């Protein structure tokens, strides 16, 4: 589902160019769940942004569902994201001026689906927020907002879901609830999950864990099928 | 789908108050422009109507030959109202006496605008009449009853005809005003003129045709007529061509309205620019989210362009309603005092208002929107990422271009637009320099323990660019308000000075040397103060540098009575004085008070050459330069003079003024007559006959009615100007408020953090107030400077006024700026500080 070949990311700063990611190659199978763990500043969010096509690689190749992300322009990547990718963010990233249900409908509307509202109602029910459908984000608690975000991520039944510290802003009780919801839906829909976190407990819930350290990626627990692959360099 | 999303966003944001400021700015711009221009159009309509009374029509064709009947017939076919007048000078005879008169023969339709004024007895109180003399009737000026020794019902003879004295004529609308040489007027019916046989070959006759009707019809008619006119014979005059004091005052007031409306547009534009920037910044996150979720650029563009469209349409609709209500309130409030044409609905203001709203909304949101579209999707992960596009050049270019375009479209006057725009640009450049200077200064001032002042300076420094934009918008707003305010003060002061309460309302001429003292004593005894006596000798202006000239001009033949400027060898009124007259200013050369006769400076035939001062306008027209030799023929004598000075004369004072003022030595051999003036209160009008009774040969002119008319118009215009000022001040204050509100949002985050860290409300409040005080003071000071530049250019180039410095505003502007901006800042801050930290932090999300 995801395949990377020697991807690197270099940024230009006032003190010259800085390589944030060393050449990274790995593969994620369809339906697999992987966690990328690492300390702050290790480069895990950068890797996520490249995998999700939010940013461009400096060198190397990325294939998302066999489509060459590295050759696409911003417009093509946006189309690909719309069709195949879902997102969950640490800071929820809900549109403040839209209600919960409207936020959930958003991806379906962008994709031009006719039954956006019906889908949104169903999935809001699944995350237990149908009674809050017409509330604005700032009228919801953090946990509720993240559940809305999860509902939004799954409404298009994406092939791949990227989650960036999904429980980073939540208390313990809400974290558990959100995690359960995330993994349950993931299983139901059969989505490939790429999760970035510094929470090892959360990472362990994934089938594989990859460690980011100073821009280099290493596998902590490799799934049997991936053993023969080389990680990093 | 896109439309749905855009509509939903619009609906929710409107409900949640997110769009209030930008919507408010558009409403403000539309309402201000609409109410100002509706009001000024209506007022102008009324003023034009009034000033049309001075030419007795909307347009007038003057001619030295009889006007082609076919032309008048064509005008009538086109739907215009027409009337005719033929005027000439002739002798009128009573049974015993005779007098030279200014004869006017008018058609029954005369006048098309304004009224003929008559009185029941000579020098009585005038009342309007809608009649004209019947065939066989003559209406006589008050003076003629005395000069011809006649009374109502008597017979007066002109040429081969006789007339019955039917009425006392007080005034006709287009009689003009001249102190010199005015013969008393008589009015007869046009059809009676032929019978008198006085308009034969060689007589000097002026023919006039009057036209009234819709502007477009008149324009259309003039287009048809123009090719057939002969510049030597014909003169087309329309309302507004009036060079008199009233004409100029009205023209100036019109320019003021234009200026005020232009400034209202700029104010509104500034408000929209501020609001649009804020709107754009608030939507960075949604755009990043939309892009992340797969929205294409096109989709995002559509969503936001549609949003702007919804806001614009809503703003325009509400703005128009508000504008109509405002101007209706103003018109109703002023109905008693100001003449406004209530029944006319003008579409142009509506069109301009809609255009303004649209151009402002589109062009001022262009740059913020372009920035918005450039927000990368990566912002969802990297919250510090702003817009990809950043170009101050584009920003200033787009908004500057929009402002200039609006000004030009609206005013259709490149110069006035260029002046306002140029001083605006100057202000912006100066402000950018000053901001950075202040920031450098603040770096030193802001050091030390963290008090509210240090915090204020620190904030100003840190947000240098944002603050400079804010400073610019505050300064521009204050400057525009200053321009409108000071302009109005100067203009009204000059109007009032032009006609003070004791302005002479009577003139006397033909006073002989020997009568001077007696006359002065007689008036003194009757508690009437006479003005200065001006000596007058009539002379023919015959040559410049020994080259004979074709046309000679005197003041009274120019201006209002240009139709009289036909012949060669007409006489000029020459005066002499050692003292420069009031409201005269030497622009070239030197005044001749210390001139000494020079035995070497003589003509070929050894006659002395005397100094003469020439009025600037006539010098220009006749191409007279300093040091030229001018030759006058006075009686049978030749007087040669050298131009030693060129004078600027304020013709708007109700004072005798002269084109040529000679040194007294030049005139010592000529017998002069004198003219003078005096002021007599309206309550003493009845005394005039007794006052004048011992001086039968002295000619008296009553200009009281004319002065009152001028004063009335000026009062009305002043009142209207005041109202416009108030409207612009309100608009400006609202803009300032919007600016403070917008900048307060930007401070929200910082306040929340300071609050969270435990800073006391007092420290935060004072730091914000101090910040606004600093910004307000600097903005006020900069505005005062820029105000001076634009006023100088406006007054000297557009308003035909004497430009002056306004030092008091250099103190007032910074003080008021600091106060207003500080108070608004404090209010905004108070609102934020009322929220608790939790609410503040949540608002930041």
As a 3-state breakdown, chain B gives helix, strand, coil percent values, each rounded to 5, of 55, 15, 25
Structure tokens at B835: 């929220």
Residue B552 is predicted with a pLDDT of 39
pLDDT value at residue B188: 94
Give the model confidence (pLDDT) of B232-246 as tens digits. 778 888 776 655 556
Is residue B49 within 8 Å of B173, Cβ to Cβ? no
Q: Is the pLDDT of residue B684 over 50?
A: yes
- Residue B208: the pLDDT is 92
Measured between CA atoms, how close is A126 to chain B, in angstroms? Answer: 21
More confident residue, B659 or A72: A72
Identify all chain A residues contacting B8, using CB atoms and an 8 Å cutoff: 98, 102
Is residue B755's pLDDT more than 80? no
What percent of chain B lies above the pLDDT cut of 90? Answer: 10
The contacts of residue B742 (CB under 8 Å, 6+ apart) are B21, B274, B275, B277, B278
Return the closest-CA partner of residue B556 out of B63, B178, B157, B10.
Answer: B178
* Calpha distance B222→B228 (Å, rounded): 10
Residue B252 burial class via C-beta count within 10 angstroms: exposed 0-12, middle 13-18, buried 19 and up: buried
Amino acid B73: pLDDT: 92
B16 touches chain A (CB under 8 A): yes
Which pLDDT value is given to residue B564? 32
pLDDT band at residue B567 using 50, 70 and 90 as cut-offs: very low
Q: Is B294 within 8 Å of A110 when comparing Cβ atoms?
A: yes
- Note the pLDDT of residue B450: 60
Residues of A with CB under 8 A from a CB of B: 45, 48-49, 52, 54-55, 74-75, 78-83, 85, 87, 89, 91, 93-99, 102, 106-107, 109-112, 136-138, 152, 164
The answer to whether residue B555 scores a pLDDT higher than 50 is: no
The single-letter DSSP state of residue B133 is P
C-alpha–C-alpha distance, residues A77 and A69, integer Å: 7
On average, the pLDDT of chain B sits at: 79
**pLDDT given at position B182:** 63
Instruction: Please compute the mean of the pLDDT values over residues B812-838 and round it to a whole number.
Output: 77
Strand-strand pairing, B534-544 and B547-548: antiparallel
Residue B355 DSSP SS3: helix
Q: Which of A74, A89, A96 sits opposite B845 (nearest CB)?
A: A96
Q: pLDDT tens string for chain A (233 positions)?
A: 889 999 999 888 778 888 888 898 989 988 888 999 988 888 888 898 899 888 889 999 999 998 998 999 888 998 898 888 988 888 888 988 889 999 999 888 888 888 889 999 999 998 888 999 999 998 998 889 988 998 998 898 889 999 988 888 778 888 888 888 888 888 888 889 999 988 888 888 888 999 988 888 888 775 444 444 444 33
Q: Which band of pLDDT confidence, cut at 50, 70 and 90, is reported for residue B334?
A: low
- Supply the angle between the helices B704-756 and B297-334 in degrees, to the nearest 10: 140
| Beta-sheet pairing, B660-662 with B534-544 | unpaired
Specify the pLDDT at position B85: 93
For B298, nearest residue in chain A (alpha carbons): A75
Distance from CA of B294 to the nearest CA of A (A): 4
- Chain A residue with minimum CA distance to B6: A98
Q: For residue B749, what pLDDT band results from cuts at 50, 70 and 90?
A: low
As a whole number of angstroms, the distance between CA A202 and CA A167 comes to: 9
Please indicate if any CB of chain A lies within 8 Å of the CB of B192: no
What sign does the dihedral A120-A121-A124-A129 (CA atoms) show? positive
pLDDT of residue B231: 74
Strands B98-106 and B660-662: unpaired
Q: Chain A residues with CB inside 8 Å of B378's CB?
A: 49, 54-55
* pLDDT of res. B644: 92
What is the DSSP code string of B154-213? -EEEETTEEEEEEEEEEE-TT----SSSPPPEEEEEGGGHHHHT-S-TT--EEEEEEEES
Query: What's the confidence (pLDDT) of residue B568?
Result: 29
CB B60 within 8 A of CB B237: yes
What residues in A contact B5, CB-CB < 8 Å?
Answer: 106, 109
Query: Under an 8 A CB cutoff, do A136 and B12 touch?
Result: yes
Q: How far is B274 from chain A (nearest CA, A)?
A: 21
* Cβ-Cβ contacts under 8 Å, A78 against chain B: 291, 294-297, 377
Could you report the per-residue pLDDT of B768-792, keeping only the tens digit for each? 788 788 888 888 888 888 888 888 8
pLDDT score of B387: 72
pLDDT at B344: 58
| Cβ-based neighbours of B418, under 8 Å, separated by 6 or more | none
Q: Token digits for A120?
A: 């949104």
* Residues from chain A contacting residue B289 (CB–CB below 8 Å): 93-95, 106
**pLDDT of residue B28 exceeding 70:** yes
Q: Does B412 touch chain A (CB under 8 A)?
A: no
Residue B569: band (very low, low, confident or very high) from pLDDT cuts 50, 70, 90? very low
CA gap B777, B787 in Å, rounded? 15
Q: B115-124, B388-397, B811-820: lowest mean pLDDT where?
A: B388-397
Can you give the pLDDT at residue B561? 36
Q: What is the 3-state secondary structure (H, E, C) of B448-465?
A: CCCCHHHHHHHHHHHCHH
Which of A74, A95, A112, A155 is the best mutation test for B, with the most CBs of B within 10 A? Answer: A95
Mark B633-660 as b/e (b = at least 16 C-beta within 10 Å): ebeeebbbbbbbbbbebbbbbbbbbbbb
B568 three-class SS: coil
- In this prediction, residue A201 carries a pLDDT of 85
CB contact under 8 A, A97 and B376: no
Q: Choose among A48, A49, A75: nearest Cβ to B296.
A: A75
Judged by a CB distance cut-off of 8 A, whether residue B301 touches chain A is no
Report the DSSP beta bridge partners of residue B638: B633
Q: Which has more confidence, A221 or B840?
A: A221
A chain contacts of residue B380, beta-carbon cutoff 8 Å: 54, 87, 89, 93
**Structure confidence at residue A231 (pLDDT):** 41
What is the pLDDT averaged over residues B126-149? 89
Least confident of B217-231, B739-753, B803-817: B739-753
pLDDT at res. B192: 92
- Is residue B554 pLDDT above 50, yes or no? no
Contact criterion met (CB < 8 Å) for A96 and B286 = yes
pLDDT band (50, 70, 90) for residue B559: very low
Give the start-to-end residue ranges of the domains of chain A. Answer: 31-55+83-222
Interface-testing mutation among B14, B289, B294, B298, with chain A (most A C-beta atoms within 10 A): B294
pLDDT, tens only, B36-72:
777 777 776 776 776 677 788 888 898 888 899 999 9
Instruction: Give residue B833's pLDDT.
Output: 67
Residue B652 pLDDT? 60
Task: Point out the residue among A52, A82, A98 whose CB comes nearest to the CB of B8.
Answer: A98
- One-letter-per-residue 3-state SS of chain A: CEEEEEEEEEEEECCEEEEEEEEEEEEECCCCEEEEECCCCCCHHHHHHHHCCCCCCCEEEEEECCEEHHHCCHHHHHHHHHHHEEEECCCCCCCCCCCHHHHHHHHHHHCCCCCHHHHHHHHHHHCCCHHHCCCCHHHCCHHHHHHHHHHHHHCCCCCEEEEECCCCCCCHHHHHHHHHHHHHHHHHHCCEEEEEECCHHHHHCCCEEEEEECCEEEEEECCHHHCCCCCCC
Cα distance between residue B43 and residue B334, in whole Å = 11
- Residue B753 scores a pLDDT above 90: no
User: Does B840 score more than 70 pLDDT?
Assistant: no
Of the partner residues A74, A81, A97, the one whose CB lies closest to the CB of residue B293: A81
Contact between B829 and B771 (Cβ < 8 Å): no
| Residue B654 CB contacts under 8 Å (≥ 6 apart), including other chains | B245, B498, B499, B503, B504, B677, B703, B707
- Is B295's CB within 8 Å of A95's CB? no
Residue B11 forms contact with A (CB below 8 Å)? no
Contacts of B143 (CB under 8 A, 6+ apart): B122, B184, B699, B700
Q: Is B293–A106 a contact, with Cβ atoms under 8 angstroms apart?
A: yes
Enter the tokens of residue A184: 């349950």
Give the range with max mean pLDDT: B56-65, B408-417, B474-483: B56-65
pLDDT in tens, B69-93: 999 999 999 899 999 999 888 889 9
Angle between helices B704-756 and B837-844 (to 10 degrees): 100
Q: B381, A54: Cβ pair inside 8 Å?
A: yes
Element containing residue B834 per DSSP (H, E): helix B807-834
Q: From residue A12, how far is each of A43, A52, A198, B384, B593 by CA, in Å?
A: 15, 22, 27, 17, 80
Beta bridge partners of B593: none
Structure-token match 């002069």, residue found: B672
Confidence of residue B839 (pLDDT cuts 50, 70, 90): low
Cα dihedral sign, B750-B752-B755-B760:
positive
Name every residue whose Cβ is closer than 8 Å to that of residue B371 and which is 6 or more positions away in sequence. Answer: B280, B387, B389, B390
- For A75, the closest chain B residue by CA position comes to B296
On the question of pLDDT at B154 being above 60, the answer is yes
Q: B150-155: long-range contacts at Cβ-Cβ below 8 A with a sequence spacing of 24 or more? A: B150/B94, B150/B95, B154/B94, B154/B95, B155/B95
Q: H helices of B53-188, where?
A: 69-77, 142-147
Distance CA B255, CA B250 (A): 9
Measured between alpha carbons, how far is B354 from B324 in angstroms, rounded to an integer?
Answer: 13
Sheet of A33-37, strand order = A85-88, A160-164, A192-197, A33-37, A208-213, A216-221
**Can the peptide bond before residue B545 be classed as cis, meaning omega within 30 degrees of 0?**
no
* pLDDT(B590) > 80: yes
| Per-residue pLDDT at B341 | 58
Residues in chain A: 233
CA distance, residue A22 to nearest chain B CA (Å): 20
Query: Is residue B448 very low, low, confident or very high in pLDDT (cuts 50, 70, 90)?
Result: low
Q: What is the largest CA-CA distance in chain B?
A: 110
Check residue B339 and give its pLDDT.
59
Inter-chain residue contact A106 with B289, CB threshold 8 Å: yes
Q: Which tokens belong to B316? A: 């325009």
Per-residue pLDDT at B818 exceeds 80: yes
| pLDDT tier, B107 (very low <50, low <70, confident <90, very high otherwise) | very high
Question: Mind telling me how many Å the CA of A155 is from chain B's nearest CA?
Answer: 11
Using CA atoms, how far apart are residues B738 and B751, in angstroms rounded to an integer? 19
Amino acid B328: pLDDT? 80
DSSP state of B95: S
User: Given CB atoms, is B13 within the 8 Å cutoff of chain A?
Assistant: yes
**A85 has which bridge partners?**
A160
- Per the model's pLDDT, the better-predicted residue between B50 and B11 turns out to be B11
Element (H or E) spanning B765, and its range?
A: helix B761-793
| pLDDT score recorded for residue B560 | 37
DSSP for B412-437 reads --HHHHHHHHHHHHHHHHHHHHHHHH
| Residues of B in Cβ contact (< 8 Å) with A47 | none
- pLDDT range class, residue B558, cuts 50, 70, 90: very low
How far apart are the CA of B292 and the nearest CA of chain A, in angstroms? 7
Under CATH, domain A31-55+83-222 is a member of which superfamily?
A: P-loop containing nucleotide triphosphate hydrolases (3.40.50.300)
Supply angle C-alpha A78, A81, A86, rounded to 5.
140
Strand runs labelled E in B493-579: 506-512, 534-544, 547-548, 571-576
Range among B64-78, B582-596, B660-674 with highest mean pLDDT value: B64-78
Q: What is the mean pLDDT of residues B123-150?
A: 88
Token pair 């009737």 is at which residue?
Answer: B137
* Whether the predicted pLDDT of B756 surpasses 60: yes
DSSP B399: H
Bigger pLDDT: B677 vs B22: B677
Which of B2, B6, B293 is the best residue to mutate to test the A interface, defined by the most A CB atoms within 10 Å of its own CB? B293
């Amino acid at each position: 589902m995801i395949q990377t070949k020697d991807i690197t990311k270099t940024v230009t700063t006032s003190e010259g160019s800085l390589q944030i990611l060393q050449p990274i190659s790995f593969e994620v199978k369809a339906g697999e769940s992987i966690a990328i763990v690492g300390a702050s500043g290790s480069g895990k969010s950068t890797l996520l942004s490249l995998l999700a096509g939010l940013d461009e690689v400096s060198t190397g190749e990325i294939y998302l569902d066999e489509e060459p992300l590295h050759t696409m322009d911003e417009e093509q990547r946006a189309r690909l994201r719309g069709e195949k990718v879902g997102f969950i963010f640490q800071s929820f990233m809900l549109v403040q001026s839209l209600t919960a249900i409207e936020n959930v409908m958003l991806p379906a509307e962008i994709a031009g689906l006719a039954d956006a509202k019906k889908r949104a109602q169903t999935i809001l029910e699944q995350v237990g927020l149908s009674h809050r459908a017409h509330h604005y984000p700032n009228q919801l608690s953090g946990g509720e907002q993240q559940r809305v975000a999860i509902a939004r991520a799954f409404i298009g039944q994406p092939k791949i879901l990227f989650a960036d510290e999904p429980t980073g802003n939540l208390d313990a009780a809400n974290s558990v609830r959100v995690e359960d919801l995330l993994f349950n839906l993931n299983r139901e829909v059969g989505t490939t999950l790429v999760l970035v976190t510094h929470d090892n407990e959360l990472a362990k819930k994934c089938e594989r864990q990859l460690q980011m350290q100073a821009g280099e990626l290493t596998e902590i627990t490799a799934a049997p099928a991936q053993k023969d692959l080389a990680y990093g360099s | 789908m896109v439309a749905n999303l855009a509509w939903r966003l619009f609906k929710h944001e409107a409900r949640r108050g997110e769009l209030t400021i930008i919507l408010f700015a558009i409403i403000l711009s539309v309402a201000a422009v609409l109410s100002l221009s509706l009001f000024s159009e209506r007022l102008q309509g009324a003023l034009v109507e009034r000033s049309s009374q001075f030419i007795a029509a909307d347009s007038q064709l003057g001619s030295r030959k009889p006007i082609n009947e076919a032309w008048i017939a064509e005008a009538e076919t086109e739907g215009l109202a027409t009337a005719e007048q033929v005027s000439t000078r002739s002798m009128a005879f009573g049974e015993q006496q005779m007098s030279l008169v200014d004869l006017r023969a008018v058609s029954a339709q005369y006048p098309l605008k304004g009224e003929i004024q008559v009185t029941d007895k000579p020098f009585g109180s005038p009342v309007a009449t809608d009649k004209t003399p019947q065939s066989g009737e003559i209406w006589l000026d008050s003076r003629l009853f005395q000069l011809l020794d006649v009374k109502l019902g008597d017979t007066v003879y002109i040429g081969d005809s006789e007339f019955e004295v039917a009425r006392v004529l007080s005034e006709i609308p287009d009689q003009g005003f001249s102190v010199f040489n005015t013969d008393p007027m008589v009015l007869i019916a046009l059809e009676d003129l032929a019978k008198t046989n006085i308009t034969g070959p060689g007589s000097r006759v002026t023919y006039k045709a009057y036209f009234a009707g819709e502007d477009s019809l008149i324009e259309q008619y003039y287009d048809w007529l123009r090719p057939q006119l002969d510049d030597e014979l014909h003169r087309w005059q329309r309302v507004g061509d009036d060079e008199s004091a009233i004409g100029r005052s009205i023209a100036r007031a019109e320019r003021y309205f234009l200026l005020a409306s232009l400034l209202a547009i700029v104010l509104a534009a500034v408000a929209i620019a501020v609001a649009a920037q804020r709107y754009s910044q608030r939507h960075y996150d949604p755009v990043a989210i939309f892009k992340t979720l797969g929205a294409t650029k096109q989709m995002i563009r559509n969503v936001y362009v549609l949003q702007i469209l919804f806001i614009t349409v809503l703003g325009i609709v509400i703005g128009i309603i508000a504008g109509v209500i405002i101007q209706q309130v103003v018109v109703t409030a002023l109905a008693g005092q100001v003449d406004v044409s209530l029944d006319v609905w003008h579409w142009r203001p509506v069109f301009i208002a809609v255009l303004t709203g649209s151009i402002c909304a589109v062009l001022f949101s262009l740059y913020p929107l372009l920035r918005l579209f450039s927000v990368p999707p990566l912002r969802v992960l990297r919250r510090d990422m702003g817009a990809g596009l950043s170009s101050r050049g584009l920003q200033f270019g787009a908004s500057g271009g929009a402002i200039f375009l609006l000004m030009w479209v609206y005013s259709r006057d490149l110069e006035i637009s260029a002046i306002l725009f140029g001083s605006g640009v100057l202000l912006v450049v100066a402000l950018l320099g000053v901001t950075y200077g202040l920031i450098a200064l603040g770096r030193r001032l802001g050091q030390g323990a963290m008090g509210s002042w240090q915090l204020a300076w620190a904030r100003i420094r840190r947000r240098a660019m944002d603050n400079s934009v804010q400073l610019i918008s505050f300064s521009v707003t204050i400057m525009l308000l200053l321009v409108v305010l000071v302009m109005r003060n100067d203009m009204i002061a000059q109007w009032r000075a032009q006609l003070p309460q004791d302005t002479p309302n009577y003139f006397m001429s033909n006073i002989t040397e020997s009568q001077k003292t007696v006359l002065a004593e007689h008036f003194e005894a009757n508690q009437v103060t006479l003005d200065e006596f001006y000596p007058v000798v009539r002379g023919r202006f015959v040559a410049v540098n020994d080259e004979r000239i074709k046309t000679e001009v005197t003041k009274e033949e120019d201006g209002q009575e240009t139709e009289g400027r036909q012949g060669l060898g007409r006489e000029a009124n020459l005066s002499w004085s050692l003292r420069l007259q009031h409201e005269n200013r030497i622009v070239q050369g030197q005044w001749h008070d210390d001139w000494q006769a020079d035995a070497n400076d003589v003509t070929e035939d050894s006659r002395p050459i005397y100094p003469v001062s020439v009025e600037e306008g006539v010098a220009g027209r006749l191409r007279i330069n300093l040091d030229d030799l001018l030759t006058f023929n006075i009686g049978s004598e030749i007087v040669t003079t050298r131009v030693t000075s060129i004078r600027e004369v304020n013709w708007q004072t109700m004072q005798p003024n002269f084109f040529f003022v000679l040194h007294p030595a030049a005139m010592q051999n000529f017998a002069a007559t004198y003219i003078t003036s005096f002021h007599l209160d309206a309550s003493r009008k009845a005394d005039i006959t007794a006052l004048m009774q011992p001086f039968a040969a002295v000619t008296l002119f009553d200009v009281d009615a004319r002065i009152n008319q001028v004063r009335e118009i000026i009062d009305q215009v002043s009142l209207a100007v005041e109202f416009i000022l108030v409207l612009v001040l309100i608009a400006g204050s609202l803009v300032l408020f919007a600016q403070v509100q917008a900048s307060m949002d930007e401070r929200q985050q910082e306040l929340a953090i300071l609050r969270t860290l435990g800073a006391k409300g007092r420290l935060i409040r004072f730091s914000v107030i101090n910040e606004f005080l600093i910004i307000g003071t600097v903005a006020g000071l900069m505005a005062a400077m820029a105000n001076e530049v634009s006023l100088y250019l406006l007054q000297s180039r557009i308003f035909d006024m004497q430009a002056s410095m306004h030092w008091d505003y250099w103190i007032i502007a910074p003080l008021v700026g600091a106060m207003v901006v500080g108070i608004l800042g404090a209010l905004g801050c108070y609102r934020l500080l009322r929220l608790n930290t939790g609410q503040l932090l949540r608002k930041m999300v």
